Amino acid sequence: MAARVETELKFHLPRPAPIRRRLRALGFTVQRPRAREQNWIYGHSRASLLRLRHTGDRWLLTAKGPRLPGPLKRRQEIEIEVADGPALRKLLALALGEAMSYSRHRTVYTHAGERGEIAWDETPFGVYMEIEGSAAWVRRTAAALGLSLAQAEPRSYPEIFDRRGAPSGFGTRPA
């Protein structure tokens, strides 16, 4: 079980092509190729959430605590890999009730010798990019990409999908 404080900035990219070119020019390479992720949220509140994620043949269960104060998105996170995702999904739905589900396509970029990653997310509402690592690395990487803290998207994906009303197959609330 990995417990840590997640530190990130998320940006909505209305014009993603120049940022993708800049990533490559800075030496970032694809660490995980584009794949569809399905996410189920249980017990979602502004304070915390429990998420089950399925990508390929991998299932991850993640608990996220309340956001910590400051300009960067920071929150306690505990994540474990799950052997039987479908069974856990049924158990969580029965015990807690599913708050919502959503999907996106994600590509993960890294830079050799650096401890951080960039998630490139394609959603029904456009492309978003998450820069995750140490606070210094997140700030430095955002600046190198020409992005400022003022441009950062403060909402989580469940908040974005819930507010925007995702198209069928991308985000749903249970009946």
**Contact by Cβ (8 Å): 130, 9:** yes
Name the residue with higher pLDDT: 122 or 163.
Answer: 122
Q: How far apart are the first and last CA of the chain?
A: 33
pLDDT (0 to 100) of residue 149: 93
Structure tokens at 9: 């900035």
Kind and range of the H or E run holding 94? helix 85-96
Residues in CB range of 166: below 8 A, 6 or more apart: 102, 123, 124, 125, 172
Per-residue confidence (pLDDT) for residue 168, from 0 to 100:
45
pLDDT the model gives residue 143: 97
Q: What is the pLDDT of residue 48?
A: 85
Alpha carbon distance 143, 152 (integer Å) = 12
Share of the chain above pLDDT 90, in %: 78
How far, in Å, CA of 169 to CA of 175, rounded?
14
Domains and CATH numbers, the chain: 2-167 (2.40.320.10)
Give tens-digit pLDDT for 23-58: 999 999 999 999 999 999 997 666 788 999 999 999
List, for residues 59-93, the tens digit of each pLDDT value.
999 999 999 998 899 999 999 999 999 999 999 99
Return mean pLDDT, the chain: 91
Nearest to 55 by CA among 39, 40, 41: 39
Q: How many CA atoms lie within 13 A of 81 on its CB side?
A: 4
Q: Please report which confidence band the pLDDT of residue 165 belongs to, taking 50, 70 and 90 as the band edges.
A: low
Percentage above 70 pLDDT, the chain:
90
Please check the confidence at residue 2 and state whether its pLDDT lies above 90: no
- What's the confidence (pLDDT) of residue 169? 47
**What average pLDDT does the segment 93-101 reach?**
92
Beta bridge partner(s), residue 130: 10, 119
Measure the CA–CA gap between 24 and 175, rounded to whole angstroms: 43
The DSSP secondary-structure symbol of 134 reads -
